[in-house]
Amino acid sequence: MSTGCPFFTFVIVGGGIAGVTCAEQIASQFASDDVCLLTASPLVKTVTNFKQVSKTLEEFDVEEQPSSVLEEKYPNLKVIQSAVKLLRAKEHLLQAENGQTFHYKKLCICSGARPKLLTQDNPHVLGIRDTDSAQEFQKRLSKAKRIVVIGNGGIALELVYEVEGCEVIWAVKDRAIGNTFFDAGAAQFLIPSLEVDKKERSLPCKRARYTTDKTGAGQSGATGELGSALGPDWHEGIELRGTEQNSSGVHIEYECEVDKIYTQQEFLQSQLDTNKSELGLWPAYVQLTNGKIYGCDFVVSATGVVPNTDPFLSGNNFELAGDHGLRVDDHMRTSEQDVYAAGDVCTAGWEPSALWQQMRLWTQARQMGWYAARCMAADVLEEPIELDFCFELFSHITKFFNYKVVLLGKFNAQGLGQDHELLVRCTKGQEYVKVVLTGGRMVGAVLIGETDLEETFENLILNQMDLSRYGEELLNPNIDIEDYFD
Ligand code: FAD
């Protein structure tokens, strides 16, 4: 070890949910060891009001706080604001952008992910990731009459629902909206919500808001690109309004992607076989793969994320997964010795339970951060540790279009091929319930609305009871299903 550089038993990189959860857990378990949280962002994200809703479902709020809050709580935890520039894994050494070098015994990388942009460096294309980019979006939206949203995941879903006073052209590559979370039936259930006038939309959202930086400092790190990912309700407290008084229509283009984005000048000079004057004069034009062209003020690219692995790869031997995440085993260990990873930056490389899949979500970031800390501890203490129960069953609770949404197990029959059966119950504007059965056993469910079925269904999925004899009665609204299975 070279002299002069600080040594920490544990170094955690990243001040998002995964990193902070990991750092808190390890700092409280090893109160006499030095722990360092190295993060690019000036604020850290902490979990508050954690509530275990059922065996696997959890809800919590996230607060962005100054790092001093963590240091006060854990005297052995030092938070350093600087981005990691280089890792030399063999030497157990990290170099930060502020010029400091750190030695560690165990390292956990929780550097999150960034939006996968349609094109890099195109001023007409925006990605939404952190508070800064959300604010930039708000600023540009306030001057916009029409935007094009590309992508079909959670961010796109929230966005098209929240934007007011601006026409939205929404291009999705699938046959239904929200393909990451829903099937076509659930999409049909949700679509009328897009047509309801914003003022008439129901009850305010119950979920907590972000506390934002009261000092006025930006959220991103020195490079301007390394802020923490937002989470549910990222749009709360930010008015997403365009220039128009009334028009807030959403027009959906299905089964298409972006072919090309033109600047105004490129468009006007192009040889495109279209009536240019009919399309009007816009700052940008988007040509879709279905041949249609739309003029717009700007494009929002919400087409997924790429793990932030760049500063860690050079000179090291990390095994990367197909999605470019750091592949981790069932102890959250990467392929480099004493280097663990958790949250959006990693890809679960173990053989998953038949009812779980990784999705880059807030809940999984917390669970992985917490479990990675326990794995590091078990390693140091030479104790055995088993894969945590939270990886037994995929479960996620959120809100889309102001409906409560619970997703359990193989909620979209992921990986089941034809070998499954679906039962659906739907009351327009109220609830949508879908269960996925295979061999008469429940393996997944989508619950939209106040169904109150999550706990019962979670139990039925976990205990894998044979439900064949109940048939469609399983979703009969006149039967109190809980009594049924008591
Ligand atoms: P992050 O929160 O991204 O944190 C990464 C941290 O690493 C940051 O502090 C960053 O500054 C730091 N960092 C990065 N590089 C370096 C470096 N080189 N050196 C030092 N520090 C570094 N999930 C849900 O469950 N529900 C939702 O409704 C939902 N909505 C979302 C909406 C938006 C707009 C976005 C962008 C994401 C949403 N997500 C949602 C996903 C969720 O926010 C992420 O899965 C989660 O925040 C990941 O946490 P993380 O700790 O792994 O990474």
Q: What is the pTM (predicted TM-score) of this model?
A: 0.88
Task: Say whether pLDDT at 462 is over 70.
Answer: yes
Which residue puts its alpha carbon closest to atom 33 of ligand 1?
A: 230
Pull the structure tokens for residue 454: 């999550």
Site to probe by mutation for ligand 1, drawn from 159, 238, 323, 360 as the one with most ligand atoms within 8 Å of Cβ, is 360
What was the pLDDT predicted at 290?
A: 94
Q: What is the ipTM of this complex?
A: 0.98
Pull the structure tokens for residue 295: 């003029």
Which residue puts its alpha carbon closest to atom 38 of ligand 1?
A: 231
- Which residue, 137, 170, 448, is CA-closest to 303? 170
Task: Check pocket membership of 56 for ligand 1, CB cut-off 6 A.
Answer: no
Condensed to tens digits (0 to 9), the pLDDT of residues 146-188 reads: 999 999 888 888 888 888 889 999 999 988 888 778 888 888 8
Task: Say whether pLDDT at 102 is over 80.
Answer: yes
Pull the structure tokens for residue 416: 């089941």
Task: Check pocket membership of 226 for ligand 1, CB cut-off 6 A.
Answer: yes
Please list, residue by residue across 228-261, b when 16 or more beta carbons sit within 10 angstroms of its beta carbon and e when fewer do: bbbbbbbbeebebbbeeeeebebebbeebebeeb
Which residue puts its alpha carbon closest to atom 4 of ligand 1?
A: 16
Q: How far is the CA of 367 from the centre of ligand 1 (A)?
A: 14
Condensed to tens digits (0 to 9), the pLDDT of residues 279-296 reads: 999 999 999 999 999 999
Q: How far is the CA of 198 from the centre of ligand 1 (A)?
A: 29
Q: Where does 134-281 show beta strands of DSSP type E?
A: 146-150, 167-171, 250-253, 258-263
CA separation for the pair 233, 104 (Å, rounded): 36
Residue 249's pLDDT band (boundaries 50, 70, 90)?
confident
Task: Check pocket membership of 42 for ligand 1, CB cut-off 6 A.
Answer: no
In this prediction, residues 360-382 reach a mean pLDDT of 96
Site to probe by mutation for ligand 1, drawn from 102, 359, 362, 394 as the one with most ligand atoms within 8 Å of Cβ, is 362
> Which atom of ligand 1 is the closest one to the Cα of 82?
20
Task: Check pocket membership of 84 for ligand 1, CB cut-off 6 A.
Answer: yes
Condensed to tens digits (0 to 9), the pLDDT of residues 178-198 reads: 877 888 888 888 888 877 665
